[in-house]
Amino acid sequence: MWPMHDEYHWQMHWFWWIVWIIVALVIFALFWFIRRTRKNSETPLDILERRYAAGEIDTEEYKAKRRELERRR
């Protein structure tokens, strides 16, 4: 058995700390990327409702486009 203060022991100790930190950072980055892409993706119905709420389209156009979108589903 190697002594506790052996140079090889401490090198492996730091190596595994670095590996686990990198693994944690990769997992965090993946979750952050997935949340960000989900948050930014709007469905066509979301866009239609936003345009209607902003007054860009009138009620008749909104209803016609909504029926069209629901029919395509």
Total number of domains in the chain = 1
Residue 24: pLDDT over 70 = yes
Q: Is 55 exposed, middle or buried (0-12, 13-18, 19+ CB in 10 A)?
A: exposed
Give 27-42 pLDDT, tens digit per residue: 999 999 888 877 667 8
Assess if residue 31 is contained within a domain. no
Distance CA 3, CA 12 (A): 14
**pLDDT given for residue 55 in this prediction:** 95
Select from 18, 38, 20 the least CA-distant residue to 30: 38
48 and 66 Cβ atoms separated by less than 8 Å: yes
Assess if residue 62 is contained within a domain. yes
Residue ranges making up the domain that contains 72: 42-73
pTM: predicted TM-score of the whole model, two decimal places = 0.46
**Number of C-beta neighbours around residue 62 at 10 A:** 16
Assess if residue 2 is contained within a domain. no
Assess if residue 56 is contained within a domain. yes
Assess if residue 63 is contained within a domain. yes
